[in-house]
Structure 1
Amino acid sequence: MKAAQITSYGAPDVLRVNDVDRPAPGTDEVLVSAEASSVNGHDAIVRAGEVKFMSGRRFPIGTGLDFAGTVAATGPGVEGVTVGERVWGTVHPRKRHITGGAAEYVVVSADRLAPAPADMSPVEAAPLVVAGSTALIALRDSVRLTGGERVLVRGAAGGVGTAAVQLAHAMGGRVTALARDRHAQLLTGLGADEVLDYGSTPSDRIGPFDVIVDTVGSELNRYRSRLAKGGPMVTVGLSPSALASIAATSVYGSRRIRAFSADPDTALLGTLAGHVTSGALRPVIDSVYPLADIAAAHRAFERGGISGKHVVVVSA
């Protein structure tokens, strides 16, 4: 089978599509015929060698955190999963894999996948798995949005940002989206009550906000100052400066910056599918690449300025 793999740490050109043996599911595992994956920040930092403590120094390493496809086989002990069923899910983000979601077949634990939303193609489903789960955890679990809050989504045009705008709107938040001005029409259509151009809007002239969802990971203290007293700020962009800001606010101050690791399980993916079915959440896709061009998808991701996600079509 074909699989995209990291052959050494570095720029996107270290990615290769290789012929590898088709894996077999073990106990409590499921073999999925993957049809689509997407490019996530996790994929980029693993490829660049920024988390070697986790990914190790043995190559090749699989890439692609998320996937959507069809169940091809189940291992011993698996219940409630049917061969031929359309599913979506993730590989384990903190384990080294020879193949990831960007492969014709992927083996995962049964608790890392769930039925994909009905009437949605794998190309539409895959980009929502990580981005949608991250946004849902941020809003539901980390800042505990209840409705009526003034919510700022920073980096609103990206994968997590577009999902956060939609879900915050669905949860009753009054959403301000901070992004490039050219994304204003898109974000308004997703539910933003207000769209501000981050290039021309000084941070000290916006807000205050009851909640801030940050997907950028820089200048956190500047935006933290725009929180109402006691308001939470959550970031998914974990740069060194972001970690320092998070540590500082855990010691003092009423405006806390929080971080988390999105690692969806079957239950959360089921909840996410419910938001899709209800119409509260839809995918935003910037571009679609064949598996052979996955390096180009990574290059486009690193250039930034995107609307939503870059999708990789795998199709066995």
Structure 2
Amino acid sequence: MDEMRAALFDRFGPPDVLYEGTVPVPGIKPGEVLVRVHASSVNGGELHGRAGRVRLVTGRRFPQRTGLDFAGEIAEVGSAVTEPLKGTAVWGILPRRMGSMAEYVAVRPRQTSAAPAGLTPVEAVSVLAGGTTGITALRDKAGLRPGERLLVRGASGGVGSVAVQLGKVYGAHVTALAGARNRDFVHALGADEVLDHRTTRPTELGPFDVILDTVGTRHRDYRKLLAPGGRMVAIAFDPGHIGRSLGYILASAVHGSRRVRFFSGNPRHDLLAELARMAETGRVRPVVDTVRPLAELAAAHAALEAGGVRGKHVVRIL
């Protein structure tokens, strides 16, 4: 087993720069495990990486890899690893690098947890990145409390669809912004109110105690909807105005009581394990939009860029 299939691209550009190629199977250090990947999902940050919008982070050396999250099983364990055992079903997110759209990934055990029992790898990975992001945003960054009013922008997407569910888990009244065709889908996730983002102006909304923004635009307009002491968590930037968006968020942390927070997730074992328990008990449900093989990753990227998504575009590796 010297080589494996992996998603690659040799230049920045549109989805069709992606292709299925071969790379060496990663070797593992004594403190690492080798995971046989069964499924991965497409996340917004991967679109920016492929298009070259964050090349200061990704660099310009090619070929480049893509993919952040994975669900699979332990294929090999390092000499210093006692748990998890070979054959254990696990899930996780790669730490600050791409490459999970491949047959194998090498990670430290603390970057994984046991996958949720009762879910297939495709179902599990559909809530993985969105769930860990949602828990960090709503519980840890915003401190969402029972009875508070939560607004979720982009409520039908990979993060928003899980965040709506988490908002109800945490006891909030959830207002969701999504496309009109996704109204019933988002209501079924538990949202108390679903509004069409195309026809609903920010001035018609509010006030809210917490706003989760997965869209990345109009931060200033939505911040005005916060009640005194309200908190807004942004997990996306407008790719055409990253500097302006970041500057505004930083300024909001200094001026006024209605603060905007931003973070880049890097979940560890305890957070992954907590989300797995939520998925096992049905408090968070799978949100699969489409399932494609690795060879059709370009189509998955194109579909996510086109918008109107309902949950996650999942890529089956195994």
TM-score by length of 2: 0.95
- Match among 287, 310, 313 for residue 310 of structure 1: 313
Q: Where does structure 2 lack aligned partners over 5 or more consecutive residues?
A: none
Distance in 2 (alpha carbons) for counterparts of 1:265 and 1:79: 18
Is contact 2:164–2:174 with CA below 8 Å preserved after alignment?
yes
Q: Which residue of 1 aligns with 2:211?
A: 212
Distance in 1 (alpha carbons) for counterparts of 2:37 and 2:114: 13
Is contact 2:118–2:280 with CA below 8 Å preserved after alignment?
no
Matches within 5 A, 1:121-160: 121-160=120-159
Query: Once the 2 structures are TM-superposed, how far is the Cα of residue 19 of structure 1 from its aligned partner?
Result: 1.8
Distance in 1 (alpha carbons) for counterparts of 2:314 and 2:202: 32
Distance in 2 (alpha carbons) for counterparts of 1:27 and 1:52: 32
Distance in 2 (alpha carbons) for counterparts of 1:54 and 1:128: 26
1:36-75: CA deviation from partner (whole Å, max 9, x where unpaired) = 0000012111111222222222111221100101110011
Q: Where does structure 1 lack aligned partners over 5 or more consecutive residues?
A: none
Q: Supply the AA of the counterpart residue of 2:315.
A: V
Distance in 2 (alpha carbons) for counterparts of 1:276 and 1:155: 21
Is contact 2:252–2:258 with CA below 8 Å preserved after alignment?
yes
Distance in 2 (alpha carbons) for counterparts of 1:146 and 1:210: 9
Q: Which residue of 1 aligns with 2:250?
A: 247
Distance in 2 (alpha carbons) for counterparts of 1:135 and 1:79: 31
Distance in 1 (alpha carbons) for counterparts of 2:223 and 2:178: 17
Distance in 2 (alpha carbons) for counterparts of 1:280 and 1:113: 21
More displaced, 113-122 or 48-57?
48-57
Matches within 5 A, 1:1-316: 1-93=4-96, 95=97, 100-239=99-238, 240=242, 241-315=244-318
1:266-308: CA deviation from partner (whole Å, max 9, x where unpaired) = 1110011111122110121111111001011111111111111
Aligned length: 311
* Partner SS state of residue 295, structure 2: helix
More displaced, 297-306 or 235-244?
235-244
Distance in 2 (alpha carbons) for counterparts of 1:7 and 1:115: 34
Distance in 2 (alpha carbons) for counterparts of 1:69 and 1:189: 28
Q: Supply the AA of the counterpart residue of 1:266.
A: H
Distance in 2 (alpha carbons) for counterparts of 1:58 and 1:68: 27
Distance in 1 (alpha carbons) for counterparts of 2:288 and 2:69: 15
Distance in 2 (alpha carbons) for counterparts of 1:243 and 1:297: 28
Q: Supply the AA of the counterpart residue of 2:70.
A: F
Distance in 1 (alpha carbons) for counterparts of 2:81 and 2:140: 29
Note closer, same or farther for the CA distance 1:221–1:308 as it changes in structure 2 (3 Å cut): same
Query: Once the 2 structures are TM-superposed, how far is the Cα of residue 133 of structure 1 from its aligned partner?
Result: 0.5
Distance in 2 (alpha carbons) for counterparts of 1:125 and 1:7: 30
